[in-house]
Structure 1
């Protein structure tokens, strides 16, 4: 089908969308070499630089790949999902397994690397969690996540911190739903407070194995016999 000229602005986005439609619609199957920049520019009614930027955007989406001296080839008909999108589609159980891997290791590191400021931040977060116990589930979960973020921050590993931040929204939503289903806080509004306090003590005392064990037990039984 003909590509059709694009409107004046934003040219790159429009050009990329037209090219994407050709790929996802099956006009250019996987393995196909795209027409040259000059041909695409003429059909789209834009300059070669616009086509070049549009192709770069499609390459970033995982749809095409340039081959030196050979041209640009289609490598997929559906754009690759970015990490945040994949996390939004992930099952809470899967996210929880990643959470355990990240947080348990972070707790070990935190026990070795924590500073007085880190300990203070964890203690303040613990108090915030206790204060939030008087509110609704959403507020309590938000405070709980803030506490766990303080523990991860004490590990002083920016990659671990970024991973935790990335899956926090999915985790928060899943935990709120879980609390609503179990009704656990109706019996204990500040559930698992002892475990959280023990975690702060273990990190503050530099006991890496105790910190990891406390957190591991807590995460293995979220909102069950004691954990969040």
Structure 2
């Protein structure tokens, strides 16, 4: 084996090592990865090999280096980044509808697939949110951070694809929220009540209630600024659930 072949193999192994830690969730989205010297010792390669692997993953959108701070995990897989670029070309209203579909699907799967550990994490997130009040509400600005209620629901679905798609959608919505184009369209009290209904359904492994509770919640928690003068605005799906007499608290 030539030295160039060995070098190429080391580069591939280093890339696989970093990508594996990210895609498995061991290095969570938003967290700092180990410093360069630590990675060199951990993987057993030189500085140039580590830097090349980090640059490659940054090009895929999985990592982002902030000078003077460190390198952050930006996305669990390249899927989220590609999707973000694709969604950026679409109207925000369409993105919100797509996000709604993902959240409902995630809630249904979470009711079936959630582990006891994931359920406990959801309970903790809900308790923190209700105890802290408005200052730390789980809006779209915080939904992609580790431990956020909505993100935990998607993680509890057990679907990595759903999680990747969801993070891609949130990247667009977080940017729009920062620009003031997407805002919270309900009261904090209602948001907490909605989260409680979703949690209760997932806890009971009630797929129907999980889907209905999440549908009612996402129909009113976020919206375009120009559409939010009327907080009672609902989608056709939400209206049909209400007309049918569905009660998210009772699950009927």
Compute the TM-score of the two structures, normalised by the length of structure 2.
Answer: 0.48
Structure 1: distance between partners of 2:83 and 2:171 = 13
Name 1:209's counterpart in structure 2: 208
Structure 2: distance between partners of 1:226 and 1:200 = 24
List aligned pairs for 1:1-228, cutoff 5 A. Answer: 82-131=82-131, 133-135=133-135, 140-144=139-143, 146-175=148-177, 177=180, 178-179=182-183, 188-222=187-221, 224-225=231-232
Name 2:242's counterpart in structure 1: none
Give the count of matched residue pairs: 141
3-state secondary structure, aligned to 1:142: coil
Structure 2: distance between partners of 1:107 and 1:203 = 7
CA shift in 2, pair 1:89/1:130, >3 Å: farther
CA shift in 2, pair 1:136/1:195, >3 Å: closer
1:88-118 deviations in Å (ceiling 9; x for gaps)? 3332211111112211111111111111111
Q: Is the radius of gyration larger for structure 1 or structure 2?
A: 1
User: Which stretches in structure 1 are left out of the alignment for 5+ residues?
Assistant: 1-80
Deviation (angstroms), 1:219? 1.6
Deviation (angstroms), 1:175? 4.7
1:163-207 deviations in Å (ceiling 9; x for gaps)? 111111212344563337x6x5xxx44442111011001001100
3-state secondary structure, aligned to 1:179: strand
Question: Does the aligned pair in 2 maintain the 1:128–1:143 contact within 8 Å?
Answer: no
3-state secondary structure, aligned to 1:221: helix
Question: Does the aligned pair in 2 maintain the 1:132–1:140 contact within 8 Å?
Answer: no
Deviation (angstroms), 1:155? 0.7
Deviation (angstroms), 1:149? 0.8
Structure 1: distance between partners of 2:164 and 2:173 = 14
Query: What is the CA RMSD across the aligned residues, in angstroms?
Result: 2.9
Name 2:9's counterpart in structure 1: none
